[in-house]
Structure 1
Amino acid sequence: MELRPGDIAPDFVLTDGSGEKHRLSDYRGKPVVVYFYPKDDTPGCTKEACAFRDDNPLFEELGVRVFGISYDTPESHRRFKAKYDIPFTLLSDSDKSVAKSYGAAGLIFPKRVTFIIDENSKISKVYEKVSVTTHSREILDFLRAEGDISEE
C-alpha cells in the first residue's frame, strides 16, 4: 500500500520501550511525525535519531509529536533511548504490521521513510528519500512553509 498526501493515516497501537501502548488516534488534534527507520544503534539510524533529539525542543514548541518506529523490541528501544538521551517515543513494530500498512516494510528492516500527519489524521507529506543528518530540519521547514505550524 502506498500512502500519499491527503490519505488518512492508518491507525495503530504499538508499544514503547517502557511497555506503554500508544494509539495514533489518541494524538488526533495535533500534528504528528512518524518516521520509520531500519534498526536501533546503527550508524545512520543513530544520526537520524540524534538529529530529531537535538531538534526536539523545536518540535515541542510547535506542538508536534515525534514517533520513531522500527522492528526492534521494546527493550532495544529502551536501551537506545537511554544511550543517546532520546526524548521522543520509539515504538516497536515487531510483527511489521504497521510498516506494511504505511508501505514502509522491507524484507529485513523497515524502509527509511517519514510521514507528516496533520491534526485531522491526514498525511500532509511523505519523505521517501531521507538525509539522516538534515531530515528533522527539513520537516520543520516544511511544516512552517505549509502554514500547518507557525513559530510562536
Structure 2
Amino acid sequence: MSLGEDRMEGRKAPDFTAATDGGGKLKLSELRGKPVVLYFYPKDDTPGCTTEACGFRDAAPDIKKLKAQVVGVSKDSVGRHDKFKAKYKLPFALVSDEDGKICERYGTWIEKSLYGRKYMGIDRATFLIDKDGVVRKVWRKVKVAGHVDDVQEALKAL
C-alpha cells in the first residue's frame, strides 16, 4: 500500500442496511448504478458537522449533475437526524448507526483524545464509492474546510 492509499480503496464497499431519517431504510448495495459519497461525521447539529453537511447540501446540484448521491452516517438517532435534516434542509439521507456496526466496518469508530482524555468516537471520514460498489477514494481525519470541493473533484474523475 503506497503512502496516502487506504486499505479499503479498490475493494467492494461493505454493505449495510440501516434506518434513515424520515422512518426510511437504506441498503447501500441498492444504490449501485450511481456513485455514492458516503460520509461519516461525529454528531448532528454541532459546528463542524453542520458546516460539512451544509457544504454537501450546497453542492447537491453539482453532485446530482455528476449522477452521484450523498449519504451521511452518524450514531445519532433517527429522531435527531429528522431534526437536523429539517433545520438545515439537507437533501440527502442520514443513516442512523446507533449500534456502531457500520462505523466498525468502515474503520471510523476510533479512540480519540481531547485535553488528555481518551474516548471512543467517530473519525470524520468520507468514502467515494463508484457505480459498481467499489471504494475508489477514502478521506480520513477530514478537515471540513475545502473537503466538499475535494470530493467533487474526485467524483469528476470517476
Taking structure 2 as the reference length, the TM-score comes to 0.88
Counterpart amino acid of 1:5? E
Counterpart amino acid of 2:149? R
1:3 Cα deviation from its structure 2 partner: 4.1
> Do the aligned residues in 1 keep the contact of 2:66 with 2:155 (CA within 8 Å)?
no
> Do the aligned residues in 1 keep the contact of 2:125 with 2:139 (CA within 8 Å)?
yes
Match of 1:77 among 58, 75, 81: 81
Which has a greater percent of strand?
2
- Structure 2 distance, partners of 1:14, 1:124, is 22
Match of 1:14 among 14, 18, 21: 18
- What is the percent sequence identity of the aligned residues? 45
> Do the aligned residues in 2 keep the contact of 1:70 with 1:93 (CA within 8 Å)?
yes
Match of 2:122 among 98, 104, 110: 110
Q: Which residue of 1 aligns with 2:144?
A: 132
1:113 Cα deviation from its structure 2 partner: 0.5
CA deviation string 1:104-138 (max 9, x = no partner): 11354311010000011110000013221321111
- Structure 2 distance, partners of 1:69, 1:40, is 10
Larger of the two Rg values belongs to structure: 2
Q: Which residue of 1 aligns with 2:135?
A: 123
Counterpart amino acid of 1:46? T
How many corresponding residue pairs? 145
CA deviation string 1:52-92 (max 9, x = no partner): 01001111111101000000000000000111111111110
Written as runs of structure 1 = structure 2, the 5 A alignment for 1:1-152 is 3-106=7-110, 108-144=120-156, 146=157, 148=158
Secondary structure of 2:19's counterpart equals strand
> Do the aligned residues in 1 keep the contact of 2:109 with 2:121 (CA within 8 Å)?
yes
Runs of 4+ in 1 over 3 A off after TM superposition: none
1:3/1:76 CA distance change after superposition, 3 Å: farther
> Do the aligned residues in 1 keep the contact of 2:39 with 2:72 (CA within 8 Å)?
yes
